[in-house]
A and B are shown apart, each in its own frame.
Chain A
Amino acid sequence: MATIEQWLEALLHFCEEIPQHKDQLNQLDSAIGDGDHGSNMTRGVQAVKDKLDTSSYSELTDLFKDIGMTLVSKVGGASGPLYGSAFISMAKTATESSDPTALMAAGLEGIKKRGRAEPGEKTMIDVWQPLVDKLHAGQLTQEAVSEAFQNTKEMKASKGRASYLGDRSIGHLDPGAQSSAYLFDCLMKAGVLNE
């Protein structure tokens, strides 16, 4: 089972990874949204990094709660309440379980409850849902992460800003799916989630 140090390593890595891909995430969002997903997430993870750098954690639930509340406060776009709800939901589950699969499943439920999206609507759910399914089956791989992300390309958006484009949203990758793919990558690299 992953240690809190591994979670911290993964999440700090995510906080470094997002700003490096800020322009790419903004570009993806320009095609089907308002072009700010990279800027929003960068603002959020920088605040998370400041919080983590000045705190120490012995319980996963406290770590997730701080990350969730910081993202809710700082991100500024739809992804703020969505990622925030994921981590707040993980914080609740962490009081009972430290199983990474159960925690990621709780994160997914948090996003679904907040955004009311289902798989196939071209959102970050389209990364979270198939990958949580893979985790349950013990089959999470790097390829599965990129496949889930790539699959958003042909979907028609029916939630979020991109939904206003209707059919015009088809043929573009979803920015929130990309940032979620980075999160899963970081969790795998740190060994929180096993290949």
Chain B
Amino acid sequence: MNKQAALLLVSHVEGIAEGLKELLIQVATDVTIITAGGLDDGSVGTSFDRISAAITDCESNTIWCFYDLGSAKMNLEIAAETTDKEVMILDAAFVEGAYTAASLLQAEVKLDEIMQQLSPLMVKN
């Protein structure tokens, strides 16, 4: 397993988070990829509790997070403020950003270099 960082995918829809994970696993079999999609009852939304639990349960202490829409980011921020882990929230295009990070983590590229590769994909403000 790549020990540098795990990836957390947060989406309003469980199927989107799981589907993106499926896409990433193809190129990143040694990267820990966790998800927090939708609400507990399966409906659309983002759940602070699910995000928080995903971060807590994750074996890695460094977690890079990608998200779909802005409200997912707000919940991620609160979760980041309430954990001791190093949680980084990336404002990159959800699919392309996470795919880039996953491929480069798999190739054991260093985090700051991955960060540079992500910079043109930062499309959210």
Please list the residues of chain A having a beta carbon within 8 angstroms of any beta carbon in chain B: 34, 36, 40, 72-73, 76-78, 80-82, 84-85, 114-115, 159-161
Contacts and interface: CB of A to CB of B under 8 A. Distances in A.
Given A76-B39, A161-B69, A82 B74 contact: yes
8 contacts: A34-B44, A40-B45, A76-B46, A76-B47, A81-B71, A81-B75, A84-B48, A85-B74
Contacts of A84: 48, 78
A160 B48 contact: no
Interface residues of B, number: 15
B39 A81 contact: no
Contacts of B75: 72, 80-81
Given A40-B45, A77-B45, A80-B48, A72 B69 contact: no
Nearest to B49: A73
Contact of B70 (A40, A80, A85, A160): A160
A76 B45 contact: yes
Interface of B: 39, 43-49, 69-71, 74-75, 77-78
A81 B69 contact: no
A26 B96 CA distance: 33
Contacts of A78: 70-71, 74
Nearest to A158: B125
Contacts of B47: 73, 76
A85 B39 contact: no
A36 B69 CA distance: 15
Nearest to A115: B74
A58 to B, nearest CB: 25
B78 A85 contact: yes
Contacts of B45: 36, 40, 76-77
Contacts of B74: 78, 81-82, 85, 114-115
B40 to A, nearest CB: 9
**A40, A76, A80 — most chain B CB neighbours (10 Å):** A76
Nearest to A71: B48
